[in-house]
Amino acid sequence: MIDTAKTIQKKTAKAIFWSITELAGAMVVQFVLGILLARLLSPAEFGVIGMINIFLALSLLFIDSGLGQALIFKKDATKTDENTLFCFNVAVGMVVAVAMAASGGWIADFYRMPQLKSICMVLALNPLFNAFGIVQFTLLKKTLNFRPMTYVTLTAVALSGVAGVIAAYCGLGVWALVLQNLLNNFLRTVLLWILGGWRPSWQFSWHSFRELGTYGSKVLASGMTEVVFKNLYSVIIGKLYTSAMLGFYNKAYSLEQLPGRFLQNIIARVSFSSFASLNGNSRELKRHFRESLRLFLVIALPTMALMGLLARPLVLFLITDKWGPAVPFLQILCVSSPLYLLQILEGNLLKALGFPGIFFVQDVLKKALLVILVCFFYNRGVETLIWIDAGATFVAFLMMRMFNMHQIRYEWKEQLQDCLPYAGLTLLMGCGVFVLSRFTSAWAPFWQLAAGGATGAVLYLTPGIFFREPLMTRMVCWGKHLCEEYWERIGRRRESC
């Protein structure tokens, strides 16, 4: 059992490395291309695409229907299970594509924007593209083989992003964003077929479908509510406010998601697979969960706090003052982001323990609270809506934490020991950067960012390293080891030449 746990730890470490490589690379590419697109296009044009994000997200969810996670959870999955999932994905993808194209007129009427009809008809190709690559993606994720996914993601993001920038420069407006979205999904599926190594056969088993569906249906139900409520604000803002206001909200959300999505994808990809592998070994599962939590806290808390404190110079420097109204939205999102990431980590533990039903019930309670609050305060402004979402996320996190702590015997005292050091360092950093910002408010945005970022890094890292905080010390040693290994390789290459 110990050898198995060590093997899983090694595979998890490799998976984390390649996930970080993939997501960091994609984040950098999207960051650069997003700046260019934001400078070339207007907030209203970004808002138009934001209006149909919910339909794109739902289409992908229906195609998978939770069966992908069921395949990961099933330890004795067979080739028949894989082929059954592929046949299901393709069949549902065709149905969803037709439904999306046919509903384009209704969507355009709902938002009173005729242009959306033709956009929906073109983007209806996305479900078809995605359907043919889900099994390859799932199997790579199940085996924690993230190296091919790194190549797939970076290539697809880079090529589609460059195409979108060229289209925007040529004056295609919102169609540049449509082209980027469509090309990204097409390239991603093609590359998954080339690098994934899995090939389907047209074999469908009702027995396999029922086995996968028992688990997947609960994941689907939870995923549906998550997608609907995640995009609820886009629908409300697009309907009640203006497309420009939706553009400001979506741009703030996309900026927050640069670090937020980076951490979210690592947590979602690696934690569920590794937690599920340790199910039945409560001691190792608890230790692995605590390490995952500490690793998340040491990175997420200071990153999101620093972004929130430097939101104004960040927006003004990167995408100019025409996006200024997005600043308060970004600041609030930086507060809610760590809560949402913690909720994902707890939810993956809950599902890995074999309680998708409990996960669904708690998710429904969160959404019910959110609906009630939105019904009362939907007309109080976008900032109020974002604060409501943060509060509902915090409640959901507490519910999951209270259930999970009894399953793996992770008591409150241990949780405080794990969380307080990083929360204290983040508070120290935040106070220092806030005070500094009062004196540098008249500086150019770039110098505000440089001064605030440097001050924040020093205030956060120095005490942790000085007092030999275990995780920080280990990360420093790991960084030194990587640098030494890199220079050794360069030296060997020079000697060989």
For 33, 259, 317, 318, the CA distances from 446, given in Å and listed in that order, are 19, 19, 6, 9
User: For residue 370, which of 406, 334, 402, 343 has the smallest C-alpha distance?
Assistant: 343
Can you give the pLDDT at residue 479?
A: 66
Give the pLDDT mean for 346-357.
78
Can you give the pLDDT at residue 10?
A: 57
Q: 124: helix, coil or strand?
A: coil
Query: Where does the pLDDT of residue 339 fall: very low under 50, low under 70, confident under 90, or very high at 90 and above?
Result: confident
CB neighbourhood size of 170 (10 A): 11
Can you give the pLDDT at residue 478?
A: 67
Q: Are 44 and 247 in contact (CB under 8 A)?
A: yes
Segment 303-326, tens digit of pLDDT? 999 999 999 999 999 888 889 999
Can you give the pLDDT at residue 330?
A: 93
- Residue that has been written with the tokens 């799932």 in this structure: 138
User: For residue 88, which of 55, 122, 106, 65 has the smallest C-alpha distance?
Assistant: 65
Can you give the pLDDT at residue 92?
A: 87
How much of the chain exceeds pLDDT 70, in percent? 87
The more confidently predicted of residues 207 and 23 is 207
For 24, counting Cβ atoms within 10 Å of its Cβ (0-12 exposed, 13-18 middle, 19+ buried), the class is: middle
Q: How far apart are CA 222 and CA 405, in angstroms?
A: 21
Type of residue at 469: E
Q: 205: helix, coil or strand?
A: coil
Beta strands in 73-186 (DSSP E): none
Highest mean pLDDT, choosing among 232-236, 274-278, 356-360? 232-236
Can you give the pLDDT at residue 363?
A: 76
Rounded to a whole number, what is the distance in angstroms from the first to the last CA of the chain? 46
Query: Where does the pLDDT of residue 18 fall: very low under 50, low under 70, confident under 90, or very high at 90 and above?
Result: low
8-state DSSP, 114: T
8-state DSSP, 444: -
Segment 163-176, tens digit of pLDDT? 999 999 999 999 99
Identify the weakest region by mean pLDDT among 65-79, 235-249, 373-387: 65-79
The more confidently predicted of residues 267 and 246 is 246
Can you give the pLDDT at residue 2?
A: 46
Can you give the pLDDT at residue 300?
A: 85
The more confidently predicted of residues 49 and 24 is 49
8-state DSSP, 497: -
Can you give the pLDDT at residue 36?
A: 92
For 228, 239, 318, 361, the CA distances from 225, given in Å and listed in that order, are 5, 20, 34, 11
454 has pLDDT over 90: yes
Type of residue at 106: W
Type of residue at 456: G
Identify the weakest region by mean pLDDT among 5-9, 96-100, 139-143, 183-187: 5-9
How much of the chain exceeds pLDDT 90, in percent? 21
Give the pLDDT mean for 10-32.
69
The more confidently predicted of residues 478 and 385 is 385
Q: How far apart are CA 286 and CA 282, in angstroms?
A: 6
Evaluated on CA atoms 266, 269, 272, 275, the torsion sign reads negative
Q: How far apart are CA 487 and CA 181, in angstroms?
A: 40
Give the pLDDT mean for 438-462.
91
Query: Where does the pLDDT of residue 12 fall: very low under 50, low under 70, confident under 90, or very high at 90 and above?
Result: low
